[in-house]
Amino acid sequence: MNILHCDLDAFYAAVEQRDNPHLQGQPVIIGGRPESRGVVATCSYEARKYGVHSAMPASQAYRLCPHGTFLPPDIKKYHSVSRQVFEIFTDYTPTIEPLSIDEAFLDISGCHKLFGSSQEVGILIRKRIKNEIGLNISIGIADNKFLAKLATNLCKPDGILLFDANMIQNTLPKLPVSSLWSVGSKTAWRLNRAGIYTAGDLANISPEKLQRIVGSNASFLIALAQGHDQRPVCPRSDAKSMGNEITFPIDLSDPAEIDQVILELSSQVGFRLRQSELKACTVHLKLRTPDFTTVTRSRTLGNAIDADLVIYNIASDLYRQSGLTGKPLRLTGINCSNLIPCDLEQPALFEKSSDRLDNIIDELKNSFAGAKISRASLMEK
C-alpha cells in the first residue's frame, strides 16, 4: 500500500472560508457572478447540500442557493496556497504526480523507515496541512493509483481511507461503473443499456463483448473493475497544452478592448508556462461569437516560446487575420501546445529585455501572493 492520493476539500471555497471567518459554515460559491454567463468553479460543502456543483451555470446556482456568497476566483492566491501544500508533500517523498492545483499522487515506497506505515504518513500529512495551512485534505491509500483515488472519493470530506484486499473483494464490485476511471456519463449510459451497472458486472464480462460497447478501452476498464492498475506515479507532468479563456459579461466588439484581453490572457498563459518550466511551439487563438460559432486559428513556430509579449504578438496577429475584427465576441481564449521542457530548448545568446521583465513580474507574483501585478497597458480596463 504505497500509493497516496491527496485531494484538498473544496479547495477554492475552503481557502476563502479560512481567510474570511464569517464565511465559515456558510454556502460559498466560487466562479461567475449570478447575473453573468459564468459558471461555478467550485463550492463549499454547505452549498453542495442545495444541489450546487462545479461547471453549473452561476445563474442556476443562484436559483438553488440565493443566500449563498458568490466570489470570483483568486487564482494567484490559490496557487500560492497550493505551493505550500506541495512543499509539505516533498518532505515525505520526491515521487509526486500533480493532477491539478489541489490534487496529487504520492509514491512513498522508500519512505517507511523514516515515517512509518502509509497510513501513518497520511495522518502526518493531514495533520500538518491542517495545522500549518488551515485546510482539510482527504487521502486515499492503496496499491495503485485507481484504488487510491477511489478511496479518496469514498472518504471525502476530511477523511483518510485504506483500500485494502477486503475492500477490493467486498466494496469494489458493488460500486457503480461511473466510479471507474474514464467512465463518464455517456459511457456509463452505454454500459447500463447493455446490462452492466456495477464494477462487479464489468469485471466478469468478456473483453470481446465489452470492446463492442466501449472500443479499445475495454481491457483497461476490466482491469480497473478487478482492482488492477499498472500505471506508475509519474513525477513530471505530461501536460499537452496550457490555456486560459474568458467569457465576457456582455459581448465585446471594440478591437482595442479585445486586444487588451488578448494581452492579459497571454500574460496568464506565459506565467503558467514559466512556472511549469515549459515552452510552447504552437499558439492557438479561440474566438466565439454571440451565436456560439467558435473560430480557432493557430501558428506553429520554429523555436519554442514562453514570453508574454511573444505569445501576445502571435495571438494578436491571428485575431487580425481571423475575419472577426470589429465583430461582437462572447469569448476569447489562448492556448499553447506542443510543449517541451525549458532545458531542451537551446538558450538565446543574449537575453531579451522582455524576458527580463517577465522574470521580474514572476518573482513579484511569487513573492506577494494575491498582489495585482500586471503591465501598465492593462491598468485602464
Q: Please tell me the predicted confidence (pLDDT) of residue 216.
A: 80
Tell me what pLDDT residue 35 has: 86
Which one is predicted more confidently, 114 or 16?
16
Helix (H, G, I), strand (E, B) or coil at 142: strand
Domain ranges of the chain: 1-163, 168-225, 241-378
Residues 6+ apart with CB under 8 A from 177: 183, 187, 188, 191, 192, 196, 197, 198, 199, 201, 202, 225
Q: Give the H or E element holding residue 81.
A: helix 75-90
Poorest-pLDDT segment among 70-79, 153-162, 224-233 = 70-79
pLDDT at residue 376 is higher than 60: no
pLDDT over 90 at 258, yes or no: yes
Q: What is the pLDDT of residues 236-250, one digit of tens each?
A: 655 678 899 888 888
State the pLDDT at residue 349. 37
Fold matches, 1-163 and 168-225: no
Q: How confident is the model at residue 351 (pLDDT cuts 50, 70, 90)?
A: very low
* b/e code 16-34 from CB counts within 10 Å (16+ = b): bbeeeeebeeebbbbbbeb
Q: Look up 46 and say whether it is catalytic.
A: no
Q: What is the mean pLDDT of the chain?
A: 88
Q: Which of 81, 66, 67, 100 is nearest to 19 (CA)?
A: 81
| Architecture label for domain 168-225 | Orthogonal Bundle (1.10)
With a cut of 70, say whether residue 348 has pLDDT above it: no
CA–CA gap between residue 113 and residue 161 (Å, rounded)? 21
Choosing from 16, 103, 257, 363, the catalytic residue is 103
Place 343 in a pLDDT band, splitting at 50, 70 and 90: low
Please tell me the total number of residues recorded for the chain in this structure.
381
Q: Which of 228, 181, 338 is nearest to 273 (CA)?
A: 338
Count CA atoms closer than 13 A to 78's CA, side-chain side. Answer: 20
CA 113 to chain centre: 33
The per-residue pLDDT for 370 is 44
Q: Which residue has the higher pLDDT, 214 or 374?
A: 214
Residue 148 in contact with residue 140, Cβ under 8 Å? yes
pLDDT of residue 353: 47
Percent of the chain with pLDDT over 70: 88
Which class in CATH covers the domain with range 1-163?
alpha beta
What is the rounded CA–CA span in Å between residue 247 and residue 39? 10
Query: Which CATH entry fits the domain spanning 241-378: 3.30.43.10, 2.60.260.20, 1.10.260.40, 3.30.1490.100?
Result: 3.30.1490.100
In this predicted structure, the answer to whether residue 202 has a pLDDT above a threshold of 60 is yes
